[in-house]
Structure 1
Amino acid sequence: MADAPTAGARLRNEATGVEVILVKAPTEPGLEIRPGGPVAIGKRYTCPACAAQALVVKPGAGELVCHDAVMELAQARPLPSSD
């Protein structure tokens, strides 16, 4: 079994053209890029199981998969009110 990638690692899939940087590493190996729906550049995706996060640096027709589940688009945190 391969070692789990660490934060800051780049993952690339030649078939889809997708490249991501890991912001928060997964708890165990298994993060992969599979052919599928499009991912957008600059978007952050989160694993619902382990909270791993990946930032897309090259978009393409792929999907990010961790723990055999498609990673979800991370929602922006609301800014505090200045009132």
Structure 2
Amino acid sequence: DARVLLHSIYSVSSAALVDRSERDEEEGEDGDEDEDDVRRDDLLWMYDGHDDSVYGVAWSEHDPWVFATLGYGGRIIIGTMPDAIKYRILL
């Protein structure tokens, strides 16, 4: 397939997403879980830049929003995450 699919996979993340005890103390909540706080695994973005199969993907060591893909024909594409996706992850 010539597409690169970027997923958000919270279910296998080792990082704590929300420290509920701190949030509850700050906001004075009684422990009710808001659906907006629940992170789910989903497809973030689909990139169709290659004409043939994609054989490699690598993230930048210096910028977490930049990645490179290598296609079967030797074509390398440097891509960046769209701002809308960045803000959805960060906020």
TM-score calculated relative to the size of structure 1: 0.28
Could you say which structure has the higher helix fraction?
Answer: 2
TM-score calculated relative to the size of structure 2: 0.27
